[in-house]
C-alpha cells in the first residue's frame, strides 16, 4: 500500500482517535472531522483575527494544520519566532505542551498562548518530573558534586524543569544547538546533568565533542543514587537522565542495514533523538530544520531514508518529488500527541477567539516563568 506521496503507508492506524475525547477539553462544539467546510472555516476565522493572531506550526504537525501556520519550524526556530512577535495578541501553537509553555514564557504578559488540544503532551517531557530532578540534585549535593555539575535541559521538558536549570546556573538546549549549549556548560562546570533525553545528550557528547561512552552514565530516577556507584559518578562527564522519545527511540540499527540493502546508494538521515547505535550507522544527523535543509540542498535523483516523525517524512516526499524519500523503519509510528492537533481542534480554537473566548490557554506562573526565561534566554544568546 502506498500514500499519495508514494511513501509506504506503514502505520497510519497508530495513535488514538483524535475525537474520542470530544467534549472533554472543548467546551462548546468541536466540529466533526467530516465537515467539508473546515478549511474554509479556518480561513475565515484567521482572516477575521488578522494581525492579532500568529499561528506557529511544528514540522511534525499534520498537513491539514500546517497549511494554516504563519511560520513552521523546529522547536528552536518556533521559540525564536514566538519571542519576536510582541504585537500578536494570540499565539496559537500547533505543537505540544512544552512548546506552548515556552512560548508563554517568551512572550509578553498581555499575549495569550493557545494549544488547540490540551492532550497534546510529550511522553519524553513526562519522563522527568520536578520532584525527581530536585531529589537528584539533592543526591548530587550529598555526594559533594552539585557545585561541579551544570544542569542542561532539552527544550522537550516542562517549564518547571527549565526553571530548575535557570535557578541552578544551567541552560536550555534544542536539537539544533545542543553542542553549543554543552560547550557553554563545560566552560562553567566539570560535569553536565543532561535532561531528559539520554540519546540527544549521548549523541552530542560522543559524536560532536569527543567525550567517551564510558564518561556518559545514565541516571535512573527510579533507583537510589540513580543506580550509579560513586566511582561511576566521579568518572562521568555527562550524567544522562534516563529518558527518551517514544517515537525516535524505536528506530533500530537493523533498519539502517536493511534500507541500505534494499536501496543501494541511499543516504540515511536521522534525528539526534535516535539511539546511539542508529546515529552511528547513519550518514547524517540533525534537527528537523537541518533535515529539511539537507533535503533541499541534495541533488535531484538522490535517495534518502529519513529517521524522524512520519508527518514530516511524508511532507518531504511531497516537497522534493525529484528526490527519492523513504521512511527509515516500517515499525515506527506517528507521534500520537503531535497528531492530537487536527483541523477540528484548530477551527474550534480559532472560532472561539473570533467570539472573544480564549480556550485552552497555556499559562506558566510568574516565578517559574522568571527562572525558565533565564535558562531560555541563555540558550537564545548562545553564539
Shorter beta-carbon distance to ligand 13P: residue 56 or 239: 56
Site string for ligand SF4, 145-164 (x = CB under 6 A): -----------x--------
Shorter beta-carbon distance to ligand 13P: residue 121 or 227: 121
- Min dist CB 95 to ligand SF4, Å, is 8
Could you tell which of ligand SF4, ligand 13P, none binds residue 269, using a CB distance below 5 to 8 A set by kind? none
Which of these ranges, 4-12, 13-21, 171-179, 185-193, lies near ligand 13P under the rule CB under 6 A? Answer: 171-179
C-beta of residue 116 within 8 angstroms of C-beta of residue 138: no
- In a 13 Å sphere around the CA of 308, the CA atoms on its Cβ side amount to 30
Q: Could you give the CA distance from residue 370 to residue 163 in angstroms, rounded to a whole number?
A: 7
SS3 (DSSP) at 285: strand
Closest to 285 (Cα-Cα) out of 203, 356, 367, 186? 203
Shorter beta-carbon distance to ligand SF4: residue 105 or 266: 105
Shorter beta-carbon distance to ligand 13P: residue 287 or 339: 287
Q: Does 14 bind ligand SF4 (CB under 6 A)?
A: no
Shorter beta-carbon distance to ligand 13P: residue 120 or 347: 120
Q: Could you give the CA distance from residue 151 to residue 326 in angstroms, rounded to a whole number?
A: 37
Q: Does 174 bind ligand SF4 (CB under 6 A)?
A: no
Q: Does 102 bind ligand 13P (CB under 6 A)?
A: no
- In a 13 Å sphere around the CA of 345, the CA atoms on its Cβ side amount to 31
Q: Could you give the CA distance from residue 56 to residue 103 in angstroms, rounded to a whole number?
A: 10
C-beta of residue 182 within 8 angstroms of C-beta of residue 199: no
Site string for ligand SF4, 58-87 (x = CB under 6 A): --x---------------------------
Shorter beta-carbon distance to ligand 13P: residue 117 or 273: 273
Could you tell which of ligand 13P, ligand SF4, none binds residue 75, using a CB distance below 5 to 8 A set by kind? ligand 13P
Shorter beta-carbon distance to ligand 13P: residue 189 or 249: 249
Q: Does 306 bind ligand SF4 (CB under 6 A)?
A: no
The H helix count followed by the E strand count for the chain is 16, 13
List, in sequence order, every beta strand (DSSP E) within the chain: 53-58, 71-73, 90-94, 112-114, 149-154, 171-173, 191-195, 216-219, 238-241, 267-270, 284-285, 303-307, 324-327
Give the number of residues in contact with ligand 13P, rule: CB under 6 A: 10
C-beta of residue 127 within 8 angstroms of C-beta of residue 200: no
Residues 328-367 that bind ligand SF4 (CB under 6 A): 335, 337-338
- Interaction site with ligand SF4 (CB under 6 A): 60, 96, 122-124, 156, 245-247, 309, 335, 337-338
Amino acid at each position: 500500500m502506498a500514500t499519495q506521496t508514494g511513501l509506504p503507508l506503514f502505520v497510519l492506524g497508530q495513535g488514538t482517535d483524535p475525537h474520542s475525547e470530544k467534549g472533554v477539553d472543548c467546551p462548546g462544539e468541536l466540529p466533526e472531522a467530516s465537515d467539508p467546510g473546515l478549511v474554509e472555516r479556518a480561513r475565515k476565522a484567521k482572516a477575521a483575527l488578522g494581525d492579532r493572531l500568529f499561528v506557529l506550526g511544528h514540522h511534525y504537525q499534520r498537513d491539514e494544520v500546517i497549511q494554516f501556520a504563519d511560520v513552521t519550524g523546529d522547536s528552536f526556530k518556533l521559540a525564536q519566532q514566538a519571542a519576536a512577535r510582541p504585537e500578536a495578541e494570540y499565539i496559537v501553537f500547533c505543537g505540544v505542551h512544552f512548546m506552548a509553555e515556552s512560548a508563554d514564557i517568551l512572550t509578553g504578559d498581555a499575549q495569550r498562548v493557545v494549544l488547540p488540544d490540551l492532550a497534546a503532551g510529550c511522553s519524553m517531557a513526562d519522563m522527568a518530573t520536578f520532584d525527581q530532578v530536585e531529589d537528584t540534585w539533592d543526591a548530587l549535593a550529598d555526594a559533594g558534586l552539585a557545585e561541579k555539575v551544570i544542569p542542561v535541559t532539552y527544550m522537550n521538558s516542562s517549564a518547571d524543569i527549565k526553571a530548575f536549570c535557570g535557578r541552578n546556573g544551567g541552560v536550555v538546549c534544542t536539537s539544533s544547538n545542543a553542542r553549543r549549549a554543552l560547550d557553554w556548560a563545560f566552560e562553567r562546570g566539570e560535569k553536565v546533568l543532561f535532561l531528559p533525553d539520554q540519546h540527544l545528550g549521548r549523541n552530542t557528547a560522543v559524536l560532536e565533542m569527543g567525550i567517551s561512552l564510558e564518561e556518559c552514565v545514565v541516571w535512573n530516577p527510579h533507583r537510589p543514587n540513580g543506580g550509579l556507584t560513586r566511582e561511576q559518578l566521579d568518572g562521568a562527564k555527562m550524567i544522562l537522565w534516563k529518558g527518551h522519545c517514544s517515537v525516535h527511540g524505536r528506530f533500530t540499527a537493523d533498519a539502517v542495514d536493511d534500507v541500505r540493502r534494499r536501496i543501494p546508494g541511499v543516504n540515511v538521515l536521522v534525528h539526534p533523538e535516535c539511539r546511539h547505535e542508529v546515529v552511528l550507522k547513519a550518514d547524517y544527523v540533525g534537527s528537523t530544520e537541518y533535515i529539511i535543509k539537507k533535503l533541499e540542498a541534495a541533488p535531484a535523483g538522490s535517495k534518502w531514508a529519513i529517521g524522524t516523525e512520519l508527518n514530516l517524512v511524508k511532507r518531504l516526499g511531497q516537497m522534493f518529488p525529484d528526490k527519492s524519500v523513504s521512511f527509515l523503519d516500517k515499525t515506527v509510528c506517528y507521534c500520537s500527541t503531535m497528531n492530537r492537533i487536527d483541523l477540528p481542534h484548530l477551527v474550534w480554537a480559532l472560532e472561539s477567539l473570533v467570539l472573544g473566548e480564549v480556550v485552552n490557554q497555556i499559562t506558566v506562573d510568574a516565578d517559574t516563568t522568571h527562572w525558565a526565561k533565564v535558562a531560555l534566554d541563555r540558550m537564545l544568546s548562545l553564539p
